[in-house]
């Protein structure tokens, strides 16, 4: 069933069962309370005269992990969420970044993988911190809209990490996805 | 009143007042239009076939104030910032500040505690935090988290602060909460 623009009643015209089913029953079944299943979900537009329920998702890893990789990697315990979504999502991520070598930078970025894709793309937006000394660290957040590789359907978003040099330590990693 | 799955009519069936009231009146009263009270609010799922209005809140304290506390506490001066919102089990929290320390290579952190329906202390894992900056240098620190373990009801979110040592200064402090 789908939404049908409500009819305009005319005086002395019979209101039929078929009309009731189309304009009352079927249209009510396209409203938010009909679509809602889960506490804490969001109801968003899914196109012309369509709404859909979306479930925010979160993943965390509070353990300090290290890497000396200069290309993006998932670390020993990937932080990743899989959501059912429209064409976009709002994504927030937080991490604590440090490096054992002064002047080197730690980077945290996102990889978006649409179901069935064979080459997930790493987004260029990143949270980064350059340590002026080995005992410096930064813990903060970054926010973005979903990037390259994201499509309507089932998407997996993964935090990726790398360094410019030295060995980076990443902990308190939190990923929050609000699918739209 | 609550949502009832709209009935299917059959040709020549009489539509009674009770049916109209249940399947049209009461169901329309479960829709967002009927529930909207406040400009800028939004609607979230509240369980099967139920939606509820939620209103975001934000608060800011511009004043630069200090602490020497090694455990999360109020600053010397204005408590917070603080917001109180009605939530389900989830809420999206944003915090941030400008911060510096009187000594070099020290830790400053801003987090938040929850009171009201939920009691939860400030956490390091979700704090806005810096480590090892040069004395007197101001740094922007932010953090974001999707809390998923709140007790539904009226919840108050209050910013708190701590340092590793030295005197931490915090200003332009903000907190924003989007209840789900």
Contact B23 A28 (CB under 8 A): yes
Q: Maximum distance among all alpha carbons in chain A? A: 84
Mean pLDDT of A20-49: 94
* Predicted pLDDT of residue B69: 97
Answer yes or no: is pLDDT of A112 > 80: yes
Do residues B48 and A34 touch, judged by C-beta distance below 8 A? no
Identify the pLDDT of residue A148.
64
- Whether the CB of A25 is below 8 Å from some CB of chain B: the reply is yes
Q: What is the DSSP string of chain A?
A: ----PPP---TT----HHHIIIIIIIHHTTSHHHH--STT-EEEEEETTEEEEE--EEEEE-S-EEE--SS-B--SS--EEEEEESS-EEEEEEEEEEESSTT-EEEEEEEEEETT-SS-EEEEEEEEEE-SSTT-EEEEEEEEE--TT--SEEEEEEEEEEESSS-EEEEEEEEEEEE-
| pLDDT at residue A135, rounded to an integer | 81
Residue B40, pLDDT score: 87
Contact present, A168 and A64 (Cβ < 8 Å): no
Say whether B34 sits in a helix, a strand or coil.
Answer: helix
pLDDT in tens, chain B (180 residues): 799 999 999 998 888 999 999 999 999 999 999 999 998 899 999 999 999 999 999 999 999 999 999 999 999 999 999 999 999 999 999 999 999 999 999 999 999 999 999 999 999 999 999 998 889 999 989 999 999 999 999 999 999 999 999 999 999 999 999 999
Predicted pLDDT of residue A111:
87
pLDDT at A88: 85
Contacts of A84 in chain B (CB under 8 A): none
Rounded CA gap, A91 and A143, in Å?
Answer: 6
| Strand (E) or helix (H) holding B130 | strand B128-133
Q: What is the pLDDT of residue A65?
A: 97
Residue A176 clears pLDDT 90, i.e. is over it: yes
Q: Which residues of B touch A96 (CB under 8 A)?
A: 129
Mean pLDDT confidence for A10-22: 92
Share of chain A above pLDDT 90, in %: 63
d(CA B129, CA B108): 6
- In chain A, the percentage of residues whose pLDDT exceeds 70 is 92
Chain A positions touching B124 (Cβ under 8 A) are 172
The 3-state secondary structure of A139-156, one letter per residue? EEEEEEECCCCCCCEEEE
Interface test with A, best of B11, B22, B112, B144 (most A CBs within 10 A): B144
pLDDT in the model for residue A113: 83
Cβ-count burial A117-126 (b if 16+ within 10 Å, e if not): eeebebbeeb
Which pLDDT belongs to residue A127? 84
CB neighbour burial string for B153-172, b if at least 16 within 10 angstroms, e if fewer = eebbbbbbbbbbebbbbbbe
Question: CA-CA distance, A90 to A98, in Å (whole number)?
Answer: 26
pLDDT in tens, A114-166: 876 666 666 666 788 888 788 889 999 988 887 666 778 888 999 999 999 99
Query: What is the pLDDT at residue A126?
Result: 79
pTM of the entire predicted model: 0.89
Q: What is the ipTM of this complex?
A: 0.84
Could you tell me how far CA B91 lies from the centroid of its own chain?
A: 5
What is the rounded average pLDDT for all residues in chain A? Answer: 89
Nearest CA to A96 out of A159, A21, A26 is that of: A159
């Amino acid at each position: 069933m789908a939404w049908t623009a409500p009819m305009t009643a005319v005086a002395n015209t019979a209101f039929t069962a078929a009309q009731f089913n189309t304009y009352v029953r079927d249209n009510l079944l396209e409203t938010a309370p009909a679509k809602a299943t889960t506490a804490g979900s969001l109801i968003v537009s899914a196109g012309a005269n369509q709404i859909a329920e979306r479930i925010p998702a979160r993943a965390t890893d509070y353990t300090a992990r290290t890497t000396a990789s200069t290309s993006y990697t998932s670390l020993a315990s990937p932080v990743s969420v899989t959501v059912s979504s429209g064409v976009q999502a709002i994504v927030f991520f937080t991490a604590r970044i440090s490096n054992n070598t002064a002047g080197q930078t730690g980077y945290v970025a996102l990889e978006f993988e649409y179901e069935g894709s064979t080459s997930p793309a790493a987004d260029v937006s990143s949270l980064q911190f350059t340590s002026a000394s080995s005992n410096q660290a930064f813990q903060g957040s970054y926010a973005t809209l979903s990037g390259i590789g994201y499509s309507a359907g089932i998407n997996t978003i993964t935090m990726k990490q790398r360094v410019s040099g030295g060995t980076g330590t990443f902990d308190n990693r939190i990923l929050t996805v609000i699918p739209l | 009143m609550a949502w009832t799955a709209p009935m299917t009519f059959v040709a020549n069936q009489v539509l009674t007042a009770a049916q109209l009231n249940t399947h049209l009146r009461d169901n329309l009263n479960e829709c967002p239009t009927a529930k909207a009270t406040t400009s800028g609010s939004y609607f979230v799922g509240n369980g099967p076939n139920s939606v509820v209005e939620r209103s975001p809140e934000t608060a800011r304290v511009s004043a630069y104030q200090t602490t020497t506390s090694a455990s999360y506490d109020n600053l010397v001066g204005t408590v917070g910032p603080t917001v109180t919102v009605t939530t389900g089990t989830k809420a999206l929290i944003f915090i941030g500040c400008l911060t510096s320390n009187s000594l070099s290579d020290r830790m400053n952190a801003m987090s938040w505690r929850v009171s009201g329906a939920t009691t939860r202390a400030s956490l390091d894992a979700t704090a806005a935090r810096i480590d090892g900056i040069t004395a007197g240098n101001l740094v922007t620190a932010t953090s974001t988290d999707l809390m998923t373990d709140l007790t539904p009801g009226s919840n108050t979110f209050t910013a708190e602060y701590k340092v590793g040592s030295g005197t931490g200064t915090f200003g332009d402090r903000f907190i924003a909460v989007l209840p789900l």
